[in-house]
Structures are given as C-alpha cells and as structure tokens.
Amino acid sequence: MDHADTPDPVLFRLREGFERVALVLRADLWAAAGQARLNPTQVQVLALLAARPAGLRAKDIAAELAVSAPSMADTLAALERKRLLQRTPDPADGRAVIARLTEDGRTLGHAVASAASQVMAALARLSPDEQADLLLTQIKLIRTLQQAGAIPLQRMCVSCRHFRPNAHPTGPQPHHCAFVNAPIGTRDLRLDCGEHEAADPDVQAATWTSFADGSPPLRAQPGN
C-alpha cells in the first residue's frame, strides 16, 4: 500500500497535543470570566485592549479574536453598559469607531490578562532553554499561519521595522531593537508589542531569512 500521501503520524500527535492545551486554556478563560462576572469573549476583549491603550476598531477586534462582526458589536455594547469600555468616532474614518477601555476596564483587563492559570504554571516548570525554544517554535507557527491568512498580522518583533536580527551575534542577546536602541535575546522576543510598526513585506521576508539562518542583520530602513 502506498503511504506517500499519508501525513506523518507525528503531525497528528502534535495537533492532539495542542488540542489538549487548548482545553486547559479554555478552562482558564472560563474561570477568569467567572471571577470577573463576564463572559469569555468579554474577558478576551478586555485583555486585548489592555495591551492596546490607543484602542482598536471593532472590526480589528473581531478579526483578532475570530468573532463575527455582529457578535463583537453585542460584546462591545455590553462592556460599554458596564462602563468598562467607551467607543468614540475614528478620526481617520467617520464610518468607524475606536473602542478603548475606561480606567476600570484597564484595571480589570490587566488583572484578567495576568491571572494565574494552569498553563502558565506548567510553562513555569520548563527550563529557561525549553521556554526559549518553545517561544521560537510559536513564532514560526504564528508566522506560517499569518502567511496562510488564518490569522491577522501579529505585532511580533520579527515583522517590525525596528527589529535587527543577529546584530550582536557573539553576545547573549544577539538581536537589536532600534526603537529602544538595545540588544535583545530570544526570551525578549514579543508576540504582541505596543510599539510594533510593520516593516515593508520585502523587508519582513529578508528579516525573517536573516533571523532564521543567523545571517548578518539588514541595513536599517530609512527613518530608523
């Protein structure tokens, strides 16, 4: 029997592993929602906007959380009634609104985002090297999913115009962030950075190649 088209069994096992972790993450989310007296989607919105003080358009929040536009509208309205969120006209588009957290919303958002969880406890038991390796694997997976259009562009270091891969190849922190003008190591790499500015697509591709194979850094882009 020809097995040439049969996926490697390890791929199924890896997916099963992610599904198991997702079950615990879902349980953590429900627990945080219950403590905050909100539903899980409302908690996710608070946690997301707590990291985006400038706010986001409703459609961008819906895309980030993979929620339909009507459901997101209901969620934002509920949070607004609870005085955890406020919506104001988007100065760049009169047809859109920007959703921002109120002071109470930010406090609660930071609380739920940093709440103790079973997954965090399990991750803490990994060695520093294992944690760094897992972070690198996550970055690769997220980038692949972005390229496939499965998730929106994430504000990761590797897609930012301020990121300089392998700028300090002989040091413990081999990369460089031009925004803060400081070297950064693997454990410093972010999946969601408030100062992220997307690099041009061609630069992103070249940056990734440099990052992945350890080659010298790219020349700084104009304005950096």
pTM confidence score: 0.81
Please give the pLDDT value at position 194: 83
- Condensed to tens digits (0 to 9), the pLDDT of residues 7-56 reads 789 999 999 999 999 999 999 989 989 989 999 999 999 999 998 888 99
Spatial distance between the Cα atoms of 60 and 43, rounded to a whole number of angstroms = 16
Structure tokens belonging to residue 42? 């409302």
Which domains occur in the chain, in start order?
Answer: 9-118 (1.10.10.10), 126-213 (no CATH)
Q: How confident is the model at residue 136 (pLDDT cuts 50, 70, 90)?
A: very high
Q: Which residues pair with 198 in a beta bridge?
A: 160
Spatial distance between the Cα atoms of 18 and 5, rounded to a whole number of angstroms = 23
User: Which is more confident, 180 or 1?
Assistant: 180
Reply yes or no on whether the pLDDT at 220 is more than 80: no
